[in-house]
Amino acid sequence: MEPLATSLLLLTLAAFPAPQFGAPQPQGPVATASAVVEHVSAAPGGTIEVGLRLELPEHWHVYWSNPGDSGLPTSVHWTAPEGFRVSAPHWPAPQRFVTGPLASYGYAKEVLLASTITVPEDWKGGSVKLELRGDWLVCHDDLGCFPESKTFELEVPIAAGPAKPTAAAPYFAAARGATPRALEGGEARLVKHPEGMALRVRFPDAVQQPVPETPPERRSDFDLAAYEPLFFPFESGHLEPSAPQRATVDGRTLELVLVAPLDPRRTEPGTLAGVLVLRPRTPGPLLSFELLAEPPH
Amino acid sequence: MHLMRTLIGMTAAFALAACQTHESTTTEASAGAPAAPEFATVGQLAPDFTLADANGKSHDLSDFRGKPVVLEWHNHDCPFVVKHYASGNMQKLQKEYAAKGVVWLTVNSSAPGKQGHVSPEDALRLTADRNAAPAALLLDPSGEVGKRYRAKVTPHMFVIDGSGNLVYDGAIDDKRSTNQADVATAKNYVREALDAVLAGKEVATPRSEPYGCSVKYPN
Residue in B10, B42, B213 closest to A101 by CB: B10
Question: How many residue pairs from chains A and B have C-beta atoms closer than 8 A?
Answer: 127
Please judge whether A21 and B126 are an interchain contact, meaning their C-beta atoms are less than 8 angstroms apart: yes
User: Of the ranges A16-30, A254-268, B79-93, which one carries the lowest mean pLDDT score?
Assistant: A16-30
Pairing of strands A60-68, A102-108: antiparallel
A99-143 pLDDT per residue, tens: 988 999 999 999 999 999 999 999 988 999 999 999 999 999 889
Cβ–Cβ contact A174 with B under 8 A: no
DSSP letters, A113-131, are EEEEEEPPTT--SSEEEEE
Q: CA of B206: which chain A residue's CA is closest?
A: A265
Residue in B39, B76, B214 closest to A70 by CB: B214
Residue in A70, A145, A242 closest to B11 by CB: A242
Rg (CA), chain A: 22
The answer to whether B195 touches B124, Cβ cutoff 8 Å, is no
Burial of A74 (0-12, 13-18, 19+ CB in 10 A): buried
User: What mean pLDDT do residues A240-257 have?
Assistant: 94
Phi, psi for A57 (deg, rounded to 5)? -65, 165
User: Of the ranges A173-182, A219-228, A236-245, which one carries the lowest mean pLDDT score?
Assistant: A219-228
Partners of residue A144 in chain B, C-beta under 8 Å? 75, 77-78, 114-116, 213, 216
Please judge whether B178 and A139 are an interchain contact, meaning their C-beta atoms are less than 8 angstroms apart: no
User: What mean pLDDT do residues B73-95 have?
Assistant: 97
The answer to whether B141 touches B179, Cβ cutoff 8 Å, is no
Q: Of A191-195, A227-231, A284-288, give the range with the top mean pLDDT.
A: A227-231
Residue in B12, B126, B214 closest to A69 by CB: B214
Cβ–Cβ contact A142 with B under 8 A: yes
Partners of residue A100 in chain B, C-beta under 8 Å? 7, 10-11, 14, 143, 147, 217-219
Query: What's the pLDDT score for residue A223?
Result: 81
Higher pLDDT, B66 or B12: B66
User: Of the ranges A51-65, A256-270, B56-70, which one carries the lowest mean pLDDT score?
Assistant: A256-270
Please judge whether A72 and B113 are an interchain contact, meaning their C-beta atoms are less than 8 angstroms apart: no
pLDDT band at B200 (very low <50, low <70, confident <90, very high): very high
Considering the domain delimited by B37-214, tell me its CATH architecture: 3-Layer(aba) Sandwich (3.40)
ipTM of the complex, rounded to two decimals: 0.83
User: What mean pLDDT do residues B172-201 have?
Assistant: 97
Please check the confidence at residue A213 and state whether its pLDDT lies above 90: no
Please judge whether B40 and A142 are an interchain contact, meaning their C-beta atoms are less than 8 angstroms apart: no
Query: What's the pLDDT score for residue A205?
Result: 76
Please judge whether B42 and A142 are an interchain contact, meaning their C-beta atoms are less than 8 angstroms apart: no
Residue in B115, B215, B218 closest to A102 by CB: B215
Nearest to A250 by CA among A279, A219, A286, A225: A225
Q: Which domains does chain A have, with CATH numbers?
A: 29-177 (2.60.40.1250), 181-293 (no CATH)
Query: What's the pLDDT score for residue A184?
Result: 86
State the CB neighbour count (10 A cutoff) for residue A213: 7
Please check the confidence at residue A15 and state whether its pLDDT lies above 70: no
Query: What's the pLDDT score for residue B28?
Result: 39
* Cβ-proximal residues to B113 (8 Å cutoff; 6+ apart), any chain: A23, A142
Mutation to test the A interface, candidates B174, B214, B215, B217, most A Cβ within 10 Å: B214
Please check the confidence at residue B16 and state whether its pLDDT lies above 60: no
pLDDT, mean over chain B: 87
A160-193 pLDDT per residue, tens: 988 999 999 999 999 999 999 998 889 999 998 8
* Cβ-proximal residues to A123 (8 Å cutoff; 6+ apart), any chain: A44, A83, A84, A158
User: Of the ranges A203-217, A221-235, A258-272, B135-149, which one carries the lowest mean pLDDT score?
Assistant: A203-217
Could you report how far apart the first and last alpha carbons of chain B are, in Å?
12
Query: Where would I find the H helices in A119-259?
Result: 169-177
Q: CA of B168: which chain A residue's CA is closest?
A: A265
Please judge whether A243 and B118 are an interchain contact, meaning their C-beta atoms are less than 8 angstroms apart: no
Phi, psi for B147 (deg, rounded to 5)? -70, -35
pLDDT band at A7 (very low <50, low <70, confident <90, very high): very low
Cβ–Cβ contact A236 with B under 8 A: yes
Q: What residue type is assigned to position A103 of the chain?
A: A
Is the C-alpha dihedral spanning A279, A108, B143, B86 positive or negative?
A: negative
DSSP A251: T
pLDDT band at A210 (very low <50, low <70, confident <90, very high): low
Please judge whether A100 and B218 are an interchain contact, meaning their C-beta atoms are less than 8 angstroms apart: yes
Mutation to test the A interface, candidates B6, B14, B24, most A Cβ within 10 Å: B14
The answer to whether A88 touches A74, Cβ cutoff 8 Å, is no
Partners of residue A25 in chain B, C-beta under 8 Å? 77
DSSP A7: H
Query: What's the pLDDT score for residue A22?
Result: 52
Residue in A23, A98, A263 closest to B115 by CB: A23
Measure in Å the smallest separation between the Cα of A40 and chain B Cα atoms.
36
Residues of chain A above pLDDT 70, percent: 85
Cβ–Cβ contact A30 with B under 8 A: no
For chain B, the three-class secondary structure string (H helix, E strand, C coil) is CHHHHHHHHHHHHHHHHHHHHHHHHHHHCCCCCCCCCCCCCCCCECCCCEEEECCCCEEEHHHHCCCCEEEEECCCCCHHHHHHHHCCHHHHHHHHHHCCCCEEEEEECCCCCCCCCCCHHHHHHHHHHCCCCCCEEEECCCCHHHHHCCCCEECCEEEECCCCEEEEEECCECCCCCCHHHHCCCCEHHHHHHHHHHCCCCCCCCECCCCCEECCCCC
Please check the confidence at residue B57 and state whether its pLDDT lies above 90: yes
| Distance from C-alpha of B5 to C-alpha of B1, rounded to nearest angstrom | 6
A253-271 pLDDT per residue, tens: 999 999 988 776 666 668 8
Cβ–Cβ contact A137 with B under 8 A: yes
User: What mean pLDDT do residues A29-57 have?
Assistant: 97
pLDDT band at A21 (very low <50, low <70, confident <90, very high): low
Query: What's the pLDDT score for residue B143?
Result: 97
Please judge whether B212 and A25 are an interchain contact, meaning their C-beta atoms are less than 8 angstroms apart: no
Please check the confidence at residue A59 and state whether its pLDDT lies above 90: yes
pLDDT band at A32 (very low <50, low <70, confident <90, very high): very high
Higher pLDDT, B130 or B33: B130
Higher pLDDT, B35 or A247: A247
| Distance from C-alpha of B175 to C-alpha of B83, rounded to nearest angstrom | 11
| Distance from C-alpha of A113 to C-alpha of A134, rounded to nearest angstrom | 10
The answer to whether A37 touches A168, Cβ cutoff 8 Å, is yes
| Distance from C-alpha of B75 to C-alpha of B69, rounded to nearest angstrom | 19
Cβ–Cβ contact A101 with B under 8 A: yes
Please check the confidence at residue B122 and state whether its pLDDT lies above 60: yes
